[in-house]
Structure 1
Amino acid sequence: MPATPTVAHSPPAHEPRRAALTALLACIGVFASYLPIGGVAVSLPTIQQGLSASTSDLQWISDAFILPMAALILTFGLIGDLYGRKKAYLVGLLLFAAGSLTSLTASSPQQIWVGQALSGAGAAALLTSTLALISHVYPDFRARAKAISAWAAALGLGMSLGPLVSGLVLEHANWRWIFLPGLVVAVLATAIGALLLEDSRSAHGRAIDIPGQVIAVVTITALVYGVIEGGESGWSSTRAVIAFVVAAVGLVGFVVTERKVASPMLSMSLFRSRAFTGAGVVIALTLFAQVGLVFSLSLFFGTVQHLSALQIGWRFLALNGITVLLGPVAGKLMGRVAPGLLLTIGLLVTGLGTLWLNTLDAHSSGGTVTPILLVIGTGLSFVMAPITAVAVGSVPHHLAGMASAGSNTLRQVGGAMGPAVFGVILTNHTVSSLPSTLAQSGLSTTDQHQVTAAVAREGLSAAGHLGLPAPATGQALGAFGESFSSALHMCTTIGAIGMFVAAVVSSVLIGVRRHKDQAPTPVDPDTTGRHRRQEQARV
């Protein structure tokens, strides 16, 4: 028996340290990519005032980051497989840094859109490359599950610290400086990763799928644009209808193209796995509800309760911080309990907590809000790590990069739809119910018409400058808060329904019992044979 195969199957002595370093850098990368999501969310009221931005402008500030993440994840996953995950990781950090610098110098909402888009493209590269790097150095399911739980905790840490860091910045400096921390982390991670990170790839005959990428970008963008435009101009408006038609045709075209192309960016064969399909649906619904709720609550806390960004950040720490604390617990439980069972329980708890948000009103204190957000965060702790492990672990090892890219694409599509849909609901329901609440506020008819016209014309941003005398302003803001609270309850109800539907999908498609391919074994069975020898020969 030749010596080479034996050496190939025996890990070198320094591999545990190398694997730990790779996991650490992966966590830093995903931490950086998620800093802006929470940080920008709590800063929206301040940005709105600083740039006189409309609600639609704010929706695009959120979606300008998430859309490129959704549209480019598959491409960067493929690029990482073909040319190296380290290269994709470094490119992602550089794009993220360029986007942060662009937003840091912004003088208009449009420039923030450009900066957010660049940062979102970088985040797409980081999400796929970091998961693929972890999957490569941890072929064993149990070790991989622990590493992925740390990855999910780093993601949650980014979302947790983002609001607090942005809040501290806004207490002492201009809102533009909220983009500086992400820039610093990206630059430092680039320097460390370029020197120390080990590269890996898994080409397996794959090639760049240009038609698939173009169709994916057009489809996802058209879908989100249609939702935002429909809420702004009406669902029957020409632009909204055209956008939805383009999205529907694009989706069909993408499936047909990926089935026919020689080297698809997302093989439709992945969806033969019930677990992978279930994981995709669950993560899309979860991120739809989670990101949409963060967007809605940020506006509620800032516009209705008039909290500062730092105060909003402390409130969101209850939601995101608990996921960081409980993430390792979820990782350990995945070695003993079926991931599908953890998922289903976590989704049910999250759904119940989201329904509990319906008790909030304009006068709800932090003591009322914090327990609710802790319940939601606890539920999410048992969703994020298991769902990622299921998606990556439900396919052969050499397809981990494509699986993580596909899962993250669905994750970001759901995340992009959250602010789009919830933003439309907040604006439309607030505007439609405002005349009724104003009529009960004691305002004069003239003042009622002035407030209604201002909100109808400018959206939710009008609440900051109604142009009424002090007593009337207080009455108008009270009516506005009541209408906004009602709109928030509609959003939270929709979010809870999404969580409950995801729980049903998880129990049916993923199951609540451990499958054979999820059992923790010393060696991943999918890495044996020809694929494993080819993988190690490349690396």
Structure 2
Amino acid sequence: MVNPSTATTVTSTPTRGGLTLALACLGAFVSYLPLVGVSAALPILGAGLHASTSQLQWITDTYILPTAVLVLSFGTLGERFGRKKIYLGAMALSCVGWVVCLTANSVPQIYVGSVLSGIGTAAMIPTTLALVGHTRPDHRSRATGIALWTGSLGLGLTLGPVFSGLIAEHAAWRWIFLPELVLCAATLIVAIVGLTESQVERTRHLDIPGQLLAILGLTGLVFGVIQGGASGWGTPAAIIAFVVAVLALPAFVVVELRSANPMFEVRLFRSAAFSGAALVMTITLFAQVGLVFTLSEYFGLVRHDSTLYIGVLLIALNGFAVVLGPALGRMMYRLTPGLVLLAGLVIGGVAALCMTSFRPDTSTGVAVLVIGLLGLGIALALAPITTIAVNSVPPQRAGTAGAANSALRQIGSALGPAVFGVVLTDRLLHTLPGHLAASGLAARDQGMVTGIVSKAGIQAGAFLHLKDGHSTGLAHAAYGLSFSDALHTCALIAGIGMLLAAIIALTLIGIRRTRM
């Protein structure tokens, strides 16, 4: 992140631009491969590890949270000490993390491995984005490079669940972490030989107070949401977590405003376009990753689809970013970025609202059509957002804006599973007694089913076995209807959120042509 008042000297070896751009995109791809890949495998992870809903939420968030809170500091480290060094270190740390996950026999060990790999991703995301800017210095080619980089993120999101599904068909659940390990190791070897060094020398240091407050604030917020949903909002752990978040996050803003070398330049929000891009990015990723979490559970627990089948279905959600990425980079010169963004948010919001019609017996064709429409909207929305954020500030602050944009991307991604997991649990438990009563199941069995799902977690409802097949069928049908009700609430939140983001984009960004 560049301080305009600080003299800087850019140093680099001669850049092999094509290879560097390819490695930047490969690093982005590998970093996002597990984000949906692990989510798609949550049903088999839950069964294999006997994990509760809150534990499954943490399996997702222990990977995302380190990225959210550390991405800005690693951007600074890359500029100061060299992006190649940070790139190699990030890949090596991710390899260690995936080895830990691959050898796991418990949920806590998965947490440890996910945290290590998440730290690697925190280093990788700003480094790869900076490498794109380093190899594409002019605005037009940079926009194309960013579109390729964004498409690589989408490719990781798309192929992750497919890899998980293929492995789950033939091996134990823990082997779903193997593709990440193999690809990280291979990329590390190529980067050692082929990546050239680039860095920015500066007379500034890491913002340690800001970093600590960011960790406390964001972790407290996510922990409070998950713990409150699992154990009760009035439990000491949830209350303490929220108090920590309420104290730490405003303190973070104050510290950053007063710091000579802030890790997050709060003054960027003086730009209406940057503020709009930041809000839209956070809401969109919140909706996308939250719905991936919800749909994975819906397909696995209600429809009892295999992990591979879930991965193939989710291609419809994430594949458009890959297919349309290069085209969208060119489209923004014919249409304005704001118009592309607005269209994507409206399409995505309407598609999410259409998910409120999903039932246990919804046909695959209808599900794919709606999920594909959501994927199209998200692809259109995410393609221009980084360009809008970067181009909304003076050129000397473009790196700062890009790093902040990446951080907000991860914050939205972390909050999605946390909030949607809580909504799923609360709504399902609220509606389950009514559906059980309407099913005609015996009163004693109704109480048994409600007790099992309440105590063992909502995943237990998918594996109920009562005294006879007829009673079991009635219980499963009631559970499916309750889960569908919960899915509808999550879809409503996502849809309203994306339509609200469209209003924010129209108001703060607009659809006029911006500087490219």
TM norm. shorter chain > 0.5: yes
Cα pair 1:139 1:397 within 8 Å, conserved: no
Stretches (4+) displaced over 4 A: none
TM-score, normalised by the number of residues in structure 2 = 0.95
Task: Measure the CA separation in 2 of the matches of 1:401 and 1:130.
Answer: 12
Q: Secondary structure at the match of 1:440?
A: helix
Which residue of structure 2 lines up, in the alignment, with residue 147 of structure 1? 145
Cα pair 1:68 1:124 within 8 Å, conserved: yes
Which residue of structure 1 lines up, in the alignment, with residue 443 of structure 2? 445
Matches within 5 A, 1:3-152: 18-152=16-150
Matches within 5 A, 1:472-511: 472-511=471-510
Task: Measure the CA separation in 2 of the matches of 1:388 and 1:106.
Answer: 36
1:452 maps to amino acid: T
Cα pair 2:462 2:476 within 8 Å, conserved: no
Which residue of structure 1 lines up, in the alignment, with residue 412 of structure 2? 414
Cα pair 2:132 2:146 within 8 Å, conserved: yes
Q: Which runs of 5+ in 1 are unaligned?
A: 1-7, 520-539
Task: Measure the CA separation in 2 of the matches of 1:19 and 1:344.
Answer: 33
Aligned residue pairs total: 506
Task: Measure the CA separation in 2 of the matches of 1:148 and 1:185.
Answer: 22
Task: Measure the CA separation in 2 of the matches of 1:465 and 1:158.
Answer: 31
Of the structure 1 ranges 83-92 and 285-294, higher mean CA displacement relative to structure 2 is found in 83-92
2:270 maps to amino acid: R
Is residue 198 from structure 1 mapped to residue 196 from structure 2 by the alignment?
yes
Matches within 5 A, 1:310-389: 310-389=308-387
Render the CA deviation track for 1:351-379: whole Å, top value 9, x for unaligned. 01111111111011211111111111111
Render the CA deviation track for 1:470-516: whole Å, top value 9, x for unaligned. 2211110100000000000000000011101111111122221112x
Task: Measure the CA separation in 1 of the matches of 2:465 and 2:369.
Answer: 37
Cα pair 2:390 2:402 within 8 Å, conserved: yes
Q: 1:398 to 1:206 in 2, by over 3 A?
A: farther
Which residue of structure 2 lines up, in the alignment, with residue 160 of structure 1? 158
Task: Measure the CA separation in 1 of the matches of 2:274 and 2:365.
Answer: 39
Task: Measure the CA separation in 2 of the matches of 1:166 and 1:219.
Answer: 32
Render the CA deviation track for 1:226-268: whole Å, top value 9, x for unaligned. 1111111222333222211211211111111111122111122
Task: Measure the CA separation in 2 of the matches of 1:86 and 1:275.
Answer: 32
Task: Measure the CA separation in 1 of the matches of 2:128 and 2:322.
Answer: 18
Render the CA deviation track for 1:127-153: whole Å, top value 9, x for unaligned. 110111111221211101111111111
Render the CA deviation track for 1:366-394: whole Å, top value 9, x for unaligned. 11111111111111111122111122233
1:191 maps to amino acid: I
Cα pair 1:78 1:402 within 8 Å, conserved: no
1:298 maps to amino acid: S
1:497 maps to amino acid: I
Q: Among 264, 271, 277, which residue is 2:275 paired with?
A: 277
Q: Secondary structure at the match of 2:439?
A: coil
Task: Measure the CA separation in 1 of the matches of 2:33 and 2:99.
Answer: 14
**RMSD of the alignment, in Å?**
1.7
Which residue of structure 2 lines up, in the alignment, with residue 223 of structure 1? 221
Cα pair 1:129 1:401 within 8 Å, conserved: no
Task: Measure the CA separation in 1 of the matches of 2:93 and 2:470.
Answer: 49
1:511 maps to amino acid: G
Task: Measure the CA separation in 1 of the matches of 2:332 and 2:455.
Answer: 51
User: What's the CA shift for 1:270?
Assistant: 1.9
User: What's the CA shift for 1:157?
Assistant: 0.6
Task: Measure the CA separation in 1 of the matches of 2:505 and 2:89.
Answer: 34
Matches within 5 A, 1:387-406: 387-406=385-404
Q: Among 291, 297, 303, which residue is 2:301 paired with?
A: 303
Which residue of structure 2 lines up, in the alignment, with residue 253 of structure 1? 251
Cα pair 1:21 1:197 within 8 Å, conserved: yes
Which residue of structure 1 lines up, in the alignment, with residue 5 of structure 2? none
TM-score, normalised by the number of residues in structure 1 = 0.91
What percentage of aligned pairs have identical amino acids? Answer: 48
Render the CA deviation track for 1:16-42: whole Å, top value 9, x for unaligned. xx2222211111001001111111111
Is residue 177 from structure 1 mapped to residue 175 from structure 2 by the alignment?
yes
1:44 maps to amino acid: L
1:207 maps to amino acid: H
Task: Measure the CA separation in 2 of the matches of 1:396 and 1:242.
Answer: 40
Q: Secondary structure at the match of 1:335?
A: helix
User: What's the CA shift for 1:203?
Assistant: 4.1
Cα pair 1:30 1:154 within 8 Å, conserved: yes
1:304 maps to amino acid: V
Render the CA deviation track for 1:96-117: whole Å, top value 9, x for unaligned. 1111111101101111111111
Q: Secondary structure at the match of 1:201?
A: strand
Task: Measure the CA separation in 1 of the matches of 2:183 and 2:176.
Answer: 13
Which residue of structure 2 lines up, in the alignment, with residue 432 of structure 1? 430
